[in-house]
Structure formats: structure tokens, C-alpha cells
Structure 1
Amino acid sequence: MYNPTVARLTYRAVLGRRRAAILFVLPALLLAISIAVRAFNGVDDQVTNSVLGGFALATMVPLIGVIAGTGAIGPEIDDGSIVYLLAKPVSRPTIIFTKLIVAIAVTMAFSAIPTLVAGFVLNGNGQQIAVAYTVAALVASIAYSAVFLLLGTVSRNAVVIGLIYALVWEALFGTLVEGARMLSIQQWSLSLAERIAGEGLIGSDVGLPLAIVLLVGVTALATWYAGQKLRVLKLAGEE
């Protein structure tokens, strides 16, 4: 199911000069904020929770997911170069699965690792907050990558739609609007963080069993449907 050649081409596309620059900006900003907060505020579990929850998980992770997920396939479909890949003797589900693995790896690397480092800078992993948010970022990276990879296969405006979802739904509605939280990947991943961190520090509106079912279900469904969309994508000259 995993094709090294497809993976190599996808890594080049996702980590191209322009996208790579954007990928580095958000983690760098998180670390800069963390250093400044620690310097001026000292160790504070609530402040750590606010920084990692409000910026890292609610904003940085979905935005990086947009860049990696849509970048794994969207540009190839937009410029038509996908036809060269589809003409190769590689099954289309294999192409989708390989691109998903690349998107997940990139999203995890640029979101979960900086989240862990920022957590240690802020409070030295007091109350397991750094580890809790890192686990949440890892889990969210998988779901975001699948959703945004699917978006890249169904819309030429995938990046715009993804940004609206990340900034409006996840960062705003997923944080402030009670009913919307049930349909938020952020809230699903927070349920795992809630179980790991000290009591009362992290909260989620979604219970852990339901969150796991939703995370697995959305990831599997998005991956399957992306494969179906790519399967019916016609090459020039195909009947």
C-alpha cells in the first residue's frame, strides 16, 4: 500500500520552498511566544494550558494540516501533473494512502514536536501538560491530514476552504460555541489530553470513547472517499 516513489515526490511537493517557509513560521512563532511568556511570567500551569490549547492545538496544528494535507495532492490536480502519476502502474488507493502517510508525517513533525518543546519551555511538563498536548497534536494530525487530503481531491479551492475551516470552525467555533465543539477535531483530541494531564487542567466536551470512535471514523472515511474520488478521475484518452 505504501509506494516510496510516490512518497518521495509528495515530500518534494509538500516541502517545496514556499510551503516549507510557511511550515517553519508557525512553530517558530509558538516557540517565541513560549520563551517570552516563560521569561515574563515564570512557570504557570494555567498560562501553559492557554498557550498550548489556544495557539498550538487550536490554530497551529490545523493550519499545518491544511498546508500538508492539501499540498500532498491539490497542486498536482490543479496543474494537471497528476495524470503522469496516474499513468504509472500504481493503484490509486496506494497513491492516496502514501500521500496520507506523508501528510501525517509532515503535520506531526511541524506541530507535535514544537508543541512538546514549547510545553517544556513553559513549565517543564508540569502536570504532564506538555505530553498531554503533544499526544493531542499527534492524534489531531492524523485526522486533519485525512480531511484536508480529501479536500484537495474534491476542490480546486482546497487551501481557502481549509483555512476557513481551520481559522473559523476550529479556532473560533470549536473553542467558543458549545454545540460546535462536538464536531471539532480539536475537541476530540483534547479528550485524550484531558485523560493525561493533571485533573481539571484540560477539558473537552466529548467523552474519550466517543472521541476515539469519531477520530478513527472520520480518518477512515475521509481516506476511503479520497481514494474513490481519485479512482474516478479520468486520464486524457480514458473512456
Structure 2
Amino acid sequence: MNATIAVITFRAMLGRRRALLLLALPLVLLVLSVVLRVTDNNDIDISADVLQRFGLATLLPLLALIAGTGVIGPEIDDGQIMYVLTKPIPRQVIVLTKLAVAIVLVAAFAVVPVLMSGIVLQGTTAGMAPAFTVGVLVGGVAYSAVFVALAVLSRNAVTIGLLYALVWETLLGNFAPGAKSASIQQWALSVVDALTSASPVKSTVDLPVAIALLVAVTAAGTLLAAYRLRSLPVASAE
């Protein structure tokens, strides 16, 4: 971790436009939860559906995409990253710092709102609120690592990330069981399923497999980003 890089990255990510993007979806989730609670449309089936489809399947990957690509992608695109690479800072430290910032942002703008939404909808019933909180957190770490790696590997990271989150996990996942099981969303849902007794929450992946895959994807994304960053030519900073 490098404190200076972390502070600069937080300042860049929390600028006016990016902050609005990070706040928009959590606010929609919270408002929806309050409306459902006030109108007594918050039975356990509806609550689980909101937390899974909106919180885990929509809010989490989109916020992780904004955070994961935003912490390093713009610096690579405009060449500013080269000034950091000329400093005596190991490339893996740069990547780990950027990843840590992305994870903190996901925790603040996805994990906390999902916890608040779960409490508004169901309180402590069936342990659903803390279960989804843990699931969104572990899923957020994996998503962040993947999207940071994408940002280092490609200038089209946002497009590729959207295709993965919206096409592979959401669209194909509803029709192809193989695609559904090979997704961070399902692995995170497996963690949720293990932590709550709410019957509507069901995952297609066994918990040990899901945990192993989450760890493997997180490690692979981090290592790949560090390796690719190491190969960027410092001379292009001129």
C-alpha cells in the first residue's frame, strides 16, 4: 500500500461527476426499500428478490466496474500513470493500492447500502441482511480485482466489463446453466445462501467451490494487473 497514491486516487474518484455515479444506484435501492416497507410490500420473497436482483446482480457489478476501472484506467489513457511508474515504487504496490481503493469504494457505495436496505426491508429476519452484506462484500472484492485488471489490459475495459456483467451474467445466465454457474454473481450468492435461512435465496454453485473460485479470480486479476503494469514502457511518459 502507498498512502500518497491512495489519497490521490480517492480524490480523483470522488470528484463531482464520479461521485454522482457512485451515489445514484445506492440511492435508488434505498428509496425502493423504504417505499416497499412503507407500503407493506416487503415480504421475504420480495425482499430477497430486491436484494438479489438489484443489490447483488445490478448495483454491485456496476459500481465495481466504475470503481475498478476508474482507479487506474483514466491514468493509463492520458499517460499520467507513467509519472508514477518512474518513481521507486514496485508495480505490485501500485496495483494493490489501486485495488484497495476500489474495494473501499465498493464497500462504501454498495456493501453499506445493501446492509441498510436489508435492515429496512426485513430487519434481522432469517439473517438475510447480514448474509447479503457479506455476499456483496466478497463479490465486490472479486469484481474489483477483475475490473482493475481489465483497466490495465485494455482501453475498452468499461465496454468489456459491461458485456460481462450484463450479457454473460444476466442475459446468458438466465438461459445457459453453464454461464450462470461461471459467474462472480453466483459465487457470491452461494455465500449468501450459506448464511441465511431465507428459502428464496438459492445458488447453483456449492459453497466450497464458490469460495475457491472467488479467491482464484481475485488473485488472478491482481497478479495479471501487476504483470501487465510492469510491462508498460516508462519512456512513453515523455
Query: TM-score interval w.r.t. the shorter chain?
Result: over 0.9
> Relative to 1, partners in 2 of residues 1:237 and 1:183: Cα closer, same or farther, differing over 3 Å?
closer
Matches within 5 A, 1:100-115: 100-115=99-114
Measured in 2, the distance between the counterparts of 1:160 and 1:129 equals 33
In terms of mean alpha carbon deviation, does 117-126 or 36-45 score higher?
Answer: 36-45
Contact 1:174 1:186 in 2 (8 A): no
Matches within 5 A, 1:117-196: 117-196=116-195
User: How far did residue 40 of structure 1 move?
Assistant: 2.1
Q: Which amino acid aligns with 2:156?
A: N
1:11 aligns with 10
Contact 2:44 2:198 in 1 (8 A): no
Measured in 2, the distance between the counterparts of 1:79 and 1:151 equals 16
Contact 1:188 1:212 in 2 (8 A): yes
Measured in 2, the distance between the counterparts of 1:106 and 1:237 equals 30
Give percent identity, aligned residues only. 50
Contact 2:128 2:198 in 1 (8 A): no
In terms of mean alpha carbon deviation, does 30-39 or 229-238 score higher?
Answer: 229-238
User: How far did residue 8 of structure 1 move?
Assistant: 0.9
> What TM-score results when the alignment is normalised by the length of structure 1?
0.95
In terms of mean alpha carbon deviation, does 217-226 or 15-24 score higher?
Answer: 15-24
1:60 aligns with 59
Measured in 2, the distance between the counterparts of 1:237 and 1:67 equals 26
1:226 aligns with 225
User: How far did residue 174 of structure 1 move?
Assistant: 3.4
Task: Give per-residue Cα distances to partners, 1:185-209, cap 9 Å, x unaligned.
Answer: 0100111110111152311111000
> Relative to 1, partners in 2 of residues 1:41 and 1:170: Cα closer, same or farther, differing over 3 Å?
farther
2:95 aligns with 96
Q: Which amino acid aligns with 2:98?
A: K
> Relative to 1, partners in 2 of residues 1:175 and 1:133: Cα closer, same or farther, differing over 3 Å?
farther
Task: Give per-residue Cα distances to partners, 1:135-168, cap 9 Å, x unaligned.
Answer: 1000011000000000000111111221222222
> Relative to 1, partners in 2 of residues 1:175 and 1:188: Cα closer, same or farther, differing over 3 Å?
farther
Contact 1:194 1:201 in 2 (8 A): no
Measured in 1, the distance between the counterparts of 2:53 and 2:124 equals 17
Stretches of structure 2 that go unaligned for 5 or more consecutive residues are: none
Measured in 2, the distance between the counterparts of 1:97 and 1:9 equals 14
Note the aligned Cα RMSD (angstroms): 1.4
In terms of mean alpha carbon deviation, does 49-58 or 160-169 score higher?
Answer: 160-169
Partner of 1:103: helix, strand, or coil? helix
Contact 1:69 1:100 in 2 (8 A): yes
> Relative to 1, partners in 2 of residues 1:197 and 1:168: Cα closer, same or farther, differing over 3 Å?
same
Contact 1:174 1:187 in 2 (8 A): no
> Relative to 1, partners in 2 of residues 1:183 and 1:138: Cα closer, same or farther, differing over 3 Å?
same
Equivalent pairs counted in the alignment come to 237
Stretches of structure 1 that go unaligned for 5 or more consecutive residues are: none
Contact 1:6 1:95 in 2 (8 A): yes
1:85 aligns to 2:89 (yes or no): no
In terms of mean alpha carbon deviation, does 182-191 or 166-175 score higher?
Answer: 166-175
User: How far did residue 173 of structure 1 move?
Assistant: 2.8
> What TM-score results when the alignment is normalised by the length of structure 2?
0.95
